[in-house]
Homo-oligomer: A and B are copies of this chain.
Amino acid sequence: MTESKAPKWQRLADDLRERIRKGAYARGSALPQIREVAEETGLAYETVRGAFRALEDEGLVHSRKGQGTFVSPILTKIYRSSTSRYARSARETGQSRGAFDTEIRRLGMVPQTSVTISRERPPARVASLLEVSSRAKSVLVRDRTMSADGTVVQLAASYFPGSIAFGTQIEQLDTGPGGSLSRLAELGHKQVEITEDIDVRKPTKNEASRLSIPVDRPVYEITHVGRTAAGQAVEVAIHIAPTTLWTLSYTWPID
């Protein structure tokens, strides 16, 4: 028996997956071409392509039209503990902004974050949460692109009400010790509670392009909202990250 009835494309995918896991093809290197594999295995082009698509869905490889199919540069999961980065100890030792850097270094890779700061008209959902107008450039946006070994692994856009943040250090590249959280607190908008909503969806064309992933590879959409004691949202962040690259973690006390 031994499940001999599995489709050919699936067995080929299993075979290739195992070879990749065993390191037969180096990270970032090219896989054999589809037509080549087809000839070697005696399968049709479409059948082999079915196997390749399965691996692509799993995030193991990515294909580039006109170039070839390549082993993903990152095969491990990046760990994101959303709660621990807000622990007082982390903030006081200046680690709050370094959570991403620390995790990437732990995996033996080189982290890099690039930031663009601008004043924008907020997306409707963000405007509604922050209770600002969506028709004016009413928010400050810190748009971060986070990479590991040169591979983009997360997009994170933070939105602050302009009435609070325009002209403050939050609009500078370096937000200083404790980051925007501490700056907002100094400005009289201390956050006491964070909420994160997690969804999985397909990326938009723009997101897929920035993340260098195919449009059918699912991503986490994490909507992060920081609120003051009065319940007012003063920071909203939207994180976009391929599900194949991340493990999310939350820890909270009972009572």
Within 8 A of B (CB), among A189-204: 191-200, 202
Are B249's CB and A252's CB within 8 A?
no
- A58: chain B residues at CB < 8 Å are 202
A248 is an interface residue with CB less than 8 A from chain B: yes
- A191: chain B residues at CB < 8 Å are 254
Stretch at the interface among A81-89, A117-125, A145-153: A81-89
A138 to chain B, nearest CB (A): 25
A23 is an interface residue with CB less than 8 A from chain B: no
A247 is an interface residue with CB less than 8 A from chain B: yes
Number of copies of this chain in the oligomer? 2
Within 8 A of B (CB), among A146-203: 181, 191-200, 202
Cβ contacts A29-69/B at 8 Å (1 or 0 each): 00000000000000000100000001001100000000000
Are B193's CB and A249's CB within 8 A?
no
- What total of chain A residues lie within 8 Å of the partner, measured CB to CB? 36
Within 8 Å by CB of A250, from B195, B199, B218, lies B195
A72 is an interface residue with CB less than 8 A from chain B: no
A93 is an interface residue with CB less than 8 A from chain B: no
Are B197's CB and A247's CB within 8 A?
yes
- A95: chain B residues at CB < 8 Å are none
Closest residue on chain B to residue A3 by CB atoms: B205
A57, A218, A243, A252: most-surrounded residue (chain B CB, <10 A)? A252
Closest residue on chain B to residue A220 by CB atoms: B200
Are A193's CB and B251's CB within 8 A?
yes
Are A196's CB and B250's CB within 8 A?
yes
